[in-house]
Amino acid sequence: MQDHVTPRRVVILGGGFAGLFAARALRRSPVAVTVVDRRAHHLFQPLLYQCASGILSEGQIAQPLRGVLRRHHNVRCVLAEATDVDTGARLVHARRPDGGDLRLPYDDLIVAVGMRQSYFGHDEFAAHAPGMKTLDDALEVRRRIYRAFEMAETAADDRERREWLTFALVGGGPTGVELAGQIREIAGHTLDREFQRIDSANARVLLFEGSDAVLGAFGPRLAHRAARTLTDLGVELRLGTRVTDIDERGLSVRGQDGTTTRVAARTVLWTAGVEAPPVIAALARATGAKQDRAGRVLVEPDLTVPGHPEIRVTGDVMSLNRLPGLAEVAMQSGAYAGRVVRHSVEGRTKQPKPFKYLDLGSAAYIARGRAVVKAGPLHLSGLPGWLVWLFVHLAFLTGFRSRMGAVLSWAVVFVTGSRRERAFNLPEAGASAGRAATPQASAPPP
């Protein structure tokens, strides 16, 4: 067995769900853990859309990473972005926010960096259609949603007013469905009677999806119920469509018959597609590991990279048995990786059992009192689905303050439709209304 520096050095890339649960599994182990993340907070990514729509504040879905791990005395947090891995020297190369370089030696490496937004080769779309992977994204989406109503109020003519009151969302997965439902509730309830020149309830919400169903992963039955709920709310579903162009005035979409249609919409939001961040490509080059179409690393049953038993890939960036990119997968795989390292340090020589995912189901919140939940044979929708959704998300929110704050915020929204987290900033005079952005690396479910 190779000699290691004492204590054994474990580097975890990413402070999302996978990285956090890996660090927690090593809490009482005689190891030195370094958690590297480009952001100083742990983000509850499944609730980003609620921050964007004004239900929850940033502090209710994001907790300081150092605060979350403050009782883990063997854990060191480093604010930096991993850029490369030297497998021969067992070094992680990282870049600090000021551009400075870091070299972090490791004996065990747990990769949990999460996925970033993918624009399917059209990164120029990002300036006009922000995604929903980071806290910055959520605040940008909030700004665009509420700004649109303000701009419609002072529009020069009916045409401009209609454009500002048209919201186009690209992608019919959980994030797209949840955000579409929230915008309709904002228009029909939250902003009711707040404007003098416009009726916010007249806002159009269009949801574009390339397949023939929204929430296709939930199965035909729940997908149908979700589509019916969205339609009842006033969301216009445009299924079987592909976006071919986006600019500051709208988007062009191609239908199944091959015809291209122009849709005028001043607010376009991107909720489709993810890809692995650049460090995963660097890891694959260094190890010879294979990647799937989205850039995920194909791993062994024990989550190791083939030929490198000291490197484990977890969460959204691992490709194993077609496991979905869910928070539960990230949590369980991160905890598994941490336990395996702990057992190795403790001298357990038995070969670890393959990682086995316990499917806890999937859930999507559509509107007040309406959600869909799929957990094995259990399929729920409407109020029962919403109650299960509520329990599951409360269970996984980090911190007592976050749970209590979320409960109070949800109660206010459920009873009154009011949203208190509606503050947003506008660009300085002369600045472009669109955000010149490129896809950002995400940090879980972390």
Q: Which residues are catalytic?
A: 178
Handedness of CA 307, 312, 317, 322 (dihedral sign): positive
- Reference 438, options 58, 144, 136, 169; nearest CA is 136
Buried b (16+ CB within 10 A) or exposed e, 158-183: eeebbbbbbbbbbbbbbbbbbbbbbb
d(CA 208, CA 194): 29
CA distance 139 to 149: 16
Structural contact between residues 15 and 113, judged by C-beta atoms closer than 8 angstroms: no
DSSP string, 240-261: S-EEEEEETTEEEEE-TTS-EE
Q: For residue 199, count other CB atoms closer than 10 A to its CB.
A: 14
Instruction: Name the 3-class secondary structure at 56.
Output: coil
Give 378's Cβ-side CA count (13 Å radius). 13
Distances (CA, A) of 33 to 4, 13, 158, 316, 323: 14, 11, 59, 21, 27
- For residue 325, the surrounding DSSP H or E stretch is none
Q: By CB neighbour count within 10 A (0-12 exposed, 13-18 middle, 19+ buried), where does 423 fall?
A: exposed
| Closest listed residue to residue 169, CA positions, set 93, 269, 254, 33 | 269
Does residue 217 sit in helix, strand or coil? helix
Structure tokens at 168: 């186009």
Compute the distance between CA of residue 246 and CA of residue 195 in angstroms, rounded to an integer: 29
The amino acid occupying position 214 is V
Cα–Cα nearest to 80, from 66, 100, 95, 65:
95
Please answer whether residues 374 and 222 qualify as being in contact, where contact means their C-beta atoms are separated by less than 8 angstroms.
Answer: yes
The H-or-E segment that residue 331 falls in is: helix 327-345
